[in-house]
Amino acid sequence: MNKFRIGFGYDVHQLKEGYDFWLGGIKLEHSKGAVGHSDADVLIHVICDALLGAANLRDIGYHYSDQDPEYKGIDSKLLLADVLKMIRENGYEIGNLDTTICLQLPKVNPHIDTMKTCLAEVMAIAEEDISIKATTTEKLGFVGRQEGVSAYCVALIYKND
């Protein structure tokens, strides 16, 4: 019998000039980048949170404190790989991920296939098990004013008993 669990992740990062913009494990060319203690990859952060939540392993901030200098500027793909190690040590595998990125600019759609390839490789899962969608906020709110980026993720994990 399979045991299924779901988890949810949400994250926001401010956008500012002079920062690199990492999203879904790849660097996007843009005049602004996300600000954070790590590389501020909002998509990877929500995936980590959703997976950790599904396995009842708390959240990304609990495991990788933004007060710890070890994680300053860290590539979020390394955090994701570590989260997958924790998930698998607890007997779980990923069923699928469904994500949404909220961003006015740059346009995300041209980069989705590359992101899926990158993330699938890091997590050792099939690209078909990763859904990445993008939306603007029709120029409303902090996303619409290009002050920040947000993302959401729902993760399904399972354990074979």
Residues belonging to the binding site for a divalent metal cation are 11, 13, 45
3-state secondary structure of 107: coil
Residues in the chain: 161
Annotated binding site: 11-13, 37-38, 45, 59-61, 135-138, 142, 145
Element (H, E) at 81: helix 76-89
CB atoms within 10 A of CB 10: 13
The answer to whether 13 and 34 have CB atoms below 8 angstroms apart is yes
Closest by CA to 101, choosing from 38, 12, 161, is: 12
| Cα 121 from Cα 132, distance rounded (Å) | 15
3-state secondary structure of 145: coil
